[in-house]
Structure 1
Amino acid sequence: MGYEWISRNKELYNLLKEYYQDELEKFLLWTEEKLKPAIRVNTLKITPEELKERLENQGFTLKRLNFYNEAFYVEYAPFEIGKTIEHYLGYYYVQNISSMIPPLVLNPQPHEMVLDIAAAPGSKTTQMAQMMRNTGVIIANDVAVDRIKALSNNVDRMGALNVIITMVEGFKFGFWFKNSFDRVLVDAPCSAIGTLHKSYEVAKWWGYEKVGKLTRTQKGLILAAFDCLKPGGTMVYSTCTITPEENEAVINFLIEKREGVIIEEFDIQGIKMRK
C-alpha cells in the first residue's frame, strides 16, 4: 500500500530514489512496518519504575529506551496504550522516539526562559517542562486554533505549570522578544516525509511547490528564533523530513543572514548519527 502511494507521486519517488539510492527498497519496506509505540514517563507525576509496575500489572510489556531512561517501548499491549487511566491522568505521553530527541539536544535547565515557537500538540513542550522541573518559563506558541486546543489539553493533562501558551505568527517573536530567551526550539512545520510509516497522506500531496512554501515559513521562523536568543543562548532546529531544502538550506540561510551563528555537534549515546 505504501509503495503504491509513493510510486504514484513521481516527484516524491524520484527524491527518495536520489536520497536513499541502494537503500530505497529498505526505506519503502520501513513505511509498511507497524512500529512499536513508545511512551515518555511524566516525572512531574510519577517515576519510571512506578509507572512500569502499574502498566505491567495491566498486562503491558515495556522495554526501556537505550538512550533515555524516562521512556519505554511498548512491546506488548493488551489494549490501546492511550486508553489507560494513567494516560488520562497525565502519567505519560504517547510519543514517537524521534520526537523525544530535540528537547534532549536543547537540554533546557531549571529556572531558564525557553521558547517553543511551533509547539502544538505539545509533546516536546511538556517534555521540556519536566526537564526544567516545572520551574522557569516556557512560551509555547502555535498559530492554528485547533492545534492550540490540543496543546492546551496536553499541557493541562501533563501538569506543566511553567508553560504560557500564545497564538501568534512565530516570526513576530524576533521583534517582540529580542535577546530574551536562554533556549529556543524550532520544531518547524515541514513536508513530513519522516511520517510516511504512520500515514500515506503525505504521499498524496507532497510536491516541490508545497516544499517551497514551507521553506519560506521555516526561514522566517529560524531568523525570529535566533533573534530571540540571549547572547550565548542555544537553539535547536528540527523537522520530520529529509529534504535538504527544509534542513541544511535553512541552516545555511540563517548563517548568511545573521552573524555569530555557531553550529555545534551533539552526541546522545545510543543514537546513530548521520553526517
Structure 2
Amino acid sequence: MNYREEFKKINRKLVERYSKLDESEDFWAYLYKPLRPSIRINTLKGNLKDIKSLLEEKFELERIPWTKGEGFYINSYDVNFGELIEYSLGLIIPQEASSMIPPVVLDPKPGELVLDMAAAPGSKTTQIAQYMENEGCIIANDAKRDRANILIANLTRAGVLIAKVTVKDGAYYAKYENVFDKVLLDAPCSSVGMIRKNFKFAKTWSLGKVYYHSRLQKRLILAAYKALKPGGTLVYSTCTVDPLENEEVVDFLLQRTDAKVEKIDLPIRKSEPILEWEGRRYSEEIKKTVRLHPQDNDTEAFYIAKIVKPR
C-alpha cells in the first residue's frame, strides 16, 4: 500500500506540507498504523512489582525504556481498559508511550510546587504526582470546564491527593511571577501525532489551525516561563510535528527572555530538530530539543523541550 497516497485521499494539503518535513515513506506508513497500547503502573495505589505481577497474568508486557520502570507496552491490540479492574481501581493509567516523556524530563520532586498549565485529561498530572510521591502541590489547570471535570475524575481514580484543579486561561498564571519550581506546558496543538488514534485528526487538520495554535502556544510559553522560579525547569511539549508549533515556539521564547535550553538525555530514537523552515532561521540551541516522528519509536509524533531559568 502507498500510505502517502492514502493520506492524500483524506487531506492533500496535510501530505503536501509534511512531505517537505519528512520525505520518508515510513513517516506515512507509521502514521497509518494503529498505536501500540501502553500503560503506566500507578505506584500511588500499590507496589510496582505486585501490580506488574497481576498484569502479567493477563498480558505480555514490554518495558518502555524512557520511563522510570513504570511504563509498559501491552502486546495486545484488542485490550479494553474500561473492562479491567486494575483500571477501575486506579492501579494502571492508560497512556501513550511518548506522552510519558515530558514528566520524566520535568523530573518533579516530593515537596515541590508544580504548575501543569494544560492538564486535562490528566495522565501526565498523575505521572507528576507519582514522581512527587503525593508530597508537595500541583496546580492542575485547564481552560475548559468540561475537560476539567474529566481531569478531576482521573485524578481521583489515581489517588492524587496534592492537585488543586483550576479553570483558567493558562496565560493567567503569568501574574504569579517566579513562583513555581517546575512548569509543564503540554500545549494545545494541531494534533498530527494523534492521527494514529483517529483519522479525524487528519481530516480536520488545516494550516489555519497550525497558525492559531502557534499564536496560542507563544502566549502560553511566555506566561509559563514568567511563572517559573529562577533555577526552575519548564518542559514544553506537543503531540504534533509542525515547526511553527514546536521549534518556532521555543525560539520565540529564547528571543524574548533569558531562557536556556538543556539537552534531554533519554534512550530515545529521534529525528533532527528543524533549524530552518519557510525562510525562518531558528537558534542553534534548538538542536537540544527532541523531535519524534512516528517511525522513530513506533509512537505518536511528539516534541519536547527542556527549558531552565537562570538563577
| Segment of structure 1 superposing worse, 26-35 or 133-142 | 26-35
Deviation at 1:77, TM superposition (A): 6.9
The AA in structure 2 aligned to 1:274 is: S
Q: Distance in 2 between matches of 1:209 and 1:77?
A: 34
| Segment of structure 1 superposing worse, 138-147 or 71-80 | 71-80
Secondary structure in structure 2 of the residue aligned to 1:246: coil
Please list, as runs of the form range in 1=range in 2, the aligned pairs for 1:186-225 lying within 5 A after superposition. 186-225=185-224
Residue 63 of structure 1 aligns with which residue? 62
Secondary structure in structure 2 of the residue aligned to 1:34: coil
Identity %: 44
Secondary structure in structure 2 of the residue aligned to 1:273: coil
Deviation at 1:6, TM superposition (A): 4.2
Deviation at 1:47, TM superposition (A): 2.2
Residue 178 of structure 1 aligns with which residue? 177
Q: Distance in 2 between matches of 1:133 and 1:230?
A: 22
Secondary structure in structure 1 of the residue aligned to 2:118: coil
The AA in structure 2 aligned to 1:16 is: Y
Are the counterparts in 2 of residues 186 and 225 from structure 1 also a CA contact under 8 Å? yes
The AA in structure 1 aligned to 2:123 is: S
Secondary structure in structure 2 of the residue aligned to 1:166: strand
Q: Deviations over 1:188-224 (max 9, x none)?
A: 0001111111111122121111111111110111000
Q: Distance in 1 between matches of 2:128 and 2:26?
A: 33
Residue 107 of structure 1 aligns with which residue? 107
Are the counterparts in 2 of residues 39 and 72 from structure 1 also a CA contact under 8 Å? yes
Q: Distance in 1 between matches of 2:78 and 2:191?
A: 30
Q: Which runs of 5+ in 2 are unaligned?
A: 273-311
| Segment of structure 1 superposing worse, 151-160 or 4-13 | 4-13
Secondary structure in structure 2 of the residue aligned to 1:126: helix
Residue 20 of structure 1 aligns with which residue? 22
Are the counterparts in 1 of residues 39 and 71 from structure 2 also a CA contact under 8 Å? yes
Residue 34 of structure 1 aligns with which residue? 34
Flag the structure with higher helix content. 1
- Which of 265, 268, 278 is equivalent to 1:267? 265
Deviation at 1:31, TM superposition (A): 2.3
2:86 counterpart of 1:86: yes
| Segment of structure 1 superposing worse, 73-82 or 29-38 | 73-82
Residue 227 of structure 2 aligns with which residue? 228
Are the counterparts in 1 of residues 122 and 151 from structure 2 also a CA contact under 8 Å? yes
Q: Distance in 2 between matches of 1:128 and 1:8?
A: 37
Deviation at 1:139, TM superposition (A): 0.3
Task: State the TM-score, normalized to the length of structure 1.
Answer: 0.93
Q: Distance in 2 between matches of 1:152 and 1:8?
A: 35
Secondary structure in structure 1 of the residue aligned to 2:34: coil
Instruction: Give the length in aligned residue pairs.
Output: 269
User: What RMSD in Å do the two structures reach over aligned CA positions?
Assistant: 1.6
2:127 counterpart of 1:130: no
Are the counterparts in 2 of residues 114 and 183 from structure 1 also a CA contact under 8 Å? yes
Q: Distance in 2 between matches of 1:264 and 1:148?
A: 31
Secondary structure in structure 1 of the residue aligned to 2:87: helix
Residue 253 of structure 1 aligns with which residue? 252
The AA in structure 2 aligned to 1:227 is: K
Q: Distance in 1 between matches of 2:20 and 2:271?
A: 17
The AA in structure 1 aligned to 2:13 is: E
Task: State the TM-score, normalized to the length of structure 2.
Answer: 0.83
